[in-house]
Structure 1
């Protein structure tokens, strides 16, 4: 039977056509980075303080510094939601009391900070309303979870290209509408719909990228094996980081939240130009029985790669039979070669129970570490723009290193080490006071958090048999959202409690270290074929290379 891998052998497994497709697929993830970091600026809380209106002392126009330092201090932290008790005199208010009152007014004034206005200052999301800020981030993460499910189904049923169009439109339109929302709840709703599309503008290009590149070619200039498919699958996350850096640069010059979101959202519509030139996945077209459309794209690919066109003349019947077979199999469920039907409950089959449980812990840990550090970058020092630019761009060398060594050293050591080092960096950050060393360690932690994020999808797919791979990755992705939804609460809300400003880093660090140690219980998959049955998992465990050795290729008989 004909499959797309055999087609790639004829038309070229890597060539100018694949390069064009990969470059086009890099555009949407760039804007995914813009969407995810948007609220870090539009929802920035004023770091230099604020105070409420004191009815008997303030007039219609009142300023932050009208009465000097009148706030209560707790463990060297200023509580701006309090003010010293005062005595009313003919000359005004004298703040000479020994105790403090809580703010009761709904009006606030803010000290100068990096923005002229954010949603926090416009809607006074401080004091009793301060908890709402982190919930915007959590709702966004919930939207990513919905997007994973919805856009994944759309991509499988209607194709990668149509799913991508839906994702571009819903993310861009919702983000643009958000710039004009008059209050908190409507704005939060737009962030939810933006997230649904933002997940899709990464998932569809990722699937398309790995589907058009052959599995055999390796980079020719390295003494160890690095597959082009590995490079393409990992490096598609680089434009996501560039997008976050690009928004950080734009925010340096646009200091009003509504204007910033409006300008950035309008720019995201430029994806539609590149979408027009992006082809559908020929692999998906063949699997869906759309052979004529697949043939047109394959012929264009062969011409661009200067290779011979695949001969469909004698293969059309086989292709139809293969498509029919796949449709028949899909109606029967996930059945292995021995006729045994499997489902989600078989993630706890004795053969893979330990693997499944470890992965279900590691996924939320990875997501918490990555997004938790990302959301914490604005609090590391006063220069929030440079912090976010460096914290974003530092991901790129992490992806390069993962790409270069995961096919030689292996998935397990890189994944475990990334979690351990990221966790240690976070714990030390929690101990240190604000300064260059603390910021540098946070960046180092982000580097390794990005490494683990890049590895977890591929490693998980290689650890689960075909019969439950899709459902297994889906369950793990669902578990990951626990970490994602928790990240804004831990990064933004926890520092305001009695736990102190270093507490988010302690939590993220402890979780990462625990995840890194648990990852040592997973088998190495490098050098093994993708498992099809439970027996294949046993073979992977038996033949896994030691963690300290490098892979040199298949053993000779």
Structure 2
């Protein structure tokens, strides 16, 4: 692994790796775009079809279940079959089912399509962050943090689509299934058709403009030293970069145990999980990072599910005059503000004062402060300003956790570990949806719960044992 890392540093940053930053970023953008697509559609779908269960937000729950399945499928399989297949296929799966979802005639059929396209997207940032990290020289590992800008871009694009479609082609907010008919309520369908078409274009672009290789770190973990050497040599020759690594140097380090067995053998499958708990300090690190992911998974949908109801209970003094246009304009402004978070995170993670752990703590702390402050808002301007600040601050945390997680996981088991984190994140998400569905969402209590959970994240961030700034991941 050290030899491979040294070779990557010797080759340096090439145009191919910059392309990888862009095209892996598409996966991040699609993940957030589709998560928020169903979230935006939920109220309009409720008004048109009604909920089978009056309390549970079924579309949001279907999304979280699909995301969990996708994280398990893509994350746990990527250490076995490599990163290439998911990179080439996941966006096509998403695009097809998002387009189909726009034509669904009932609540249940839409929920099923949401679950399937969420499963397609569920492992995207597991694989995309891993792909990028495993090709980067140490001088540019900060790009994995900055790649969260694509996640914010996905939110922003959907927010702008919603501003156009949902404000002009949706039933009034007080409508019921008896008064809200399909011909008045095409906004959520247009949103899905447009988002699906965009994802299809991005998936074709991935195949057309970049030839994805298996990462060299994964190849040597599979005892495929010759392929790893060949891939790196080809990259160095193409861009006229120095390359002194010899295949004999790799092979002289011996063989990786048990690679003669089937990839799907019980021993090799267990090794990918057991490798995350190989030593005491690695076990501690793995458990604390999983705890971070579980808590953030719970707080996000809890905040998203209850906030519209809380604002509605406060009336026009906080939300402004009832208007679809105002609602979706504010939503779009919020998501544009979210672009600031990953930029701040990309700067802070490379500073000696903050590093990765400090940036995580700062993002969580600022978000906590603004969420406590949100309980005191009294005007529409305060509502918009504070909610935009919460979006920006929380994206500092998100951008850093997406990059830090693969950095502290061992390469041979990285996708498995990241997949495990995201699975627990989705379990937290399902928990958050259910809590938000059954809690009294018209009081400030859920806001205090969300703010307190971000306070917990401050401590969980500081408890992480490894600071990876300026260091090579192995």
Output the TM-score relative to the length of structure 1. Answer: 0.67
Query: Which residue matches 1:306?
Result: 240
For residues 84-233 of structure 1, the aligned pairs below 5 Å read 118-125=44-51, 129-132=53-56, 134-215=57-138, 217=139, 228-230=140-142, 232-233=143-144
2:33 and 2:155 in contact (8 A); partners too = yes
Q: 1:465 to 1:5 in 2, by over 3 A?
A: closer
Match of 2:369 among 395, 400, 424: 424
CA shift, 1:445, in A, is: 2.0
Match of 1:269 among 174, 188, 200: 200
* Residues 23-45 of structure 1: per-residue CA shift (max 9 Å, x gap): 2222232222221111232222x
| 1:247 pairs with 2:246 | no
Higher strand proportion: 1
Q: 1:469 to 1:358 in 2, by over 3 A?
A: same
1:140 and 1:195 in contact (8 A); partners too = yes
| 1:453 pairs with 2:398 | yes
Classify the secondary structure of the residue corresponding to 1:182. coil
| 1:363 pairs with 2:306 | no
Provide the rounded CA distance (Å) in 2 between the counterparts of 1:8 and 1:451: 28
CA shift, 1:122, in A, is: 1.9
* Residues 303-356 of structure 1: per-residue CA shift (max 9 Å, x gap): 443324x467x52684497565572699866999xxxx9938958x87577656
Query: Which residue matches 1:237?
Result: 148
For residues 360-439 of structure 1, the aligned pairs below 5 Å read 360-373=290-303, 381=319, 382=323, 383-407=326-350, 408=352, 409-433=354-378, 435-439=380-384
Output the TM-score relative to the length of structure 2. Answer: 0.78
Q: 1:356 to 1:7 in 2, by over 3 A?
A: closer
Provide the rounded CA distance (Å) in 2 between the counterparts of 1:506 and 1:158: 44
| 1:16 pairs with 2:15 | yes
Q: 1:456 to 1:328 in 2, by over 3 A?
A: farther
1:139 and 1:485 in contact (8 A); partners too = no
Classify the secondary structure of the residue corresponding to 2:117. helix
Provide the rounded CA distance (Å) in 2 between the counterparts of 1:466 and 1:311: 23
CA shift, 1:294, in A, is: 5.2
Provide the rounded CA distance (Å) in 2 between the counterparts of 1:315 and 1:360: 37
Q: 1:140 to 1:265 in 2, by over 3 A?
A: same
142-151 or 404-413: bigger deviation: 404-413
370-379 or 138-147: bigger deviation: 370-379
CA shift, 1:291, in A, is: 6.2
Provide the rounded CA distance (Å) in 2 between the counterparts of 1:432 and 1:384: 17
CA shift, 1:508, in A, is: 0.8
| 1:525 pairs with 2:467 | yes
2:69 and 2:119 in contact (8 A); partners too = yes
Classify the secondary structure of the residue corresponding to 1:411. helix
Provide the rounded CA distance (Å) in 2 between the counterparts of 1:165 and 1:531: 25
Q: 1:152 to 1:3 in 2, by over 3 A?
A: farther
Query: Which residue matches 1:4?
Result: 4
1:490 and 1:504 in contact (8 A); partners too = no
* Residues 80-138 of structure 1: per-residue CA shift (max 9 Å, x gap): xxxxxxxxxxxxxxxxxxxxxxxxxxxxxxxxxxxxxx32222133xx84424x23212
Classify the secondary structure of the residue corresponding to 2:335. helix
Query: Which residue matches 1:482?
Result: 427
Provide the rounded CA distance (Å) in 1 between the counterparts of 2:260 and 2:34: 40
1:142 and 1:481 in contact (8 A); partners too = yes
Provide the rounded CA distance (Å) in 1 between the counterparts of 2:270 and 2:400: 28
Provide the rounded CA distance (Å) in 2 between the counterparts of 1:516 and 1:192: 32
Query: Which residue matches 2:177?
Result: none
Query: Which residue matches 1:76?
Result: none
* Residues 121-160 of structure 1: per-residue CA shift (max 9 Å, x gap): 22133xx84424x232122112212111211233333332
Classify the secondary structure of the residue corresponding to 1:212. coil
Q: 1:396 to 1:324 in 2, by over 3 A?
A: same
Classify the secondary structure of the residue corresponding to 1:525. coil
Q: 1:515 to 1:33 in 2, by over 3 A?
A: closer
Provide the rounded CA distance (Å) in 1 between the counterparts of 2:93 and 2:461: 37
> Which runs of 5 or more structure 1 residues have no equivalent in the other structure?
45-117, 218-227, 533-557
> Which runs of 5 or more structure 2 residues have no equivalent in the other structure?
170-185, 312-318
Classify the secondary structure of the residue corresponding to 2:12. coil
Query: Which residue matches 1:547?
Result: none
Provide the rounded CA distance (Å) in 2 between the counterparts of 1:393 and 1:322: 51
Aligned residues: 433
Classify the secondary structure of the residue corresponding to 2:375. helix
Where relative contact order (Cα < 8 A, 6+ residues apart) is larger, the structure is 2
Classify the secondary structure of the residue corresponding to 1:131. coil
1:369 and 1:449 in contact (8 A); partners too = no
| 1:516 pairs with 2:458 | yes
Q: 1:311 to 1:323 in 2, by over 3 A?
A: farther
CA shift, 1:174, in A, is: 1.7
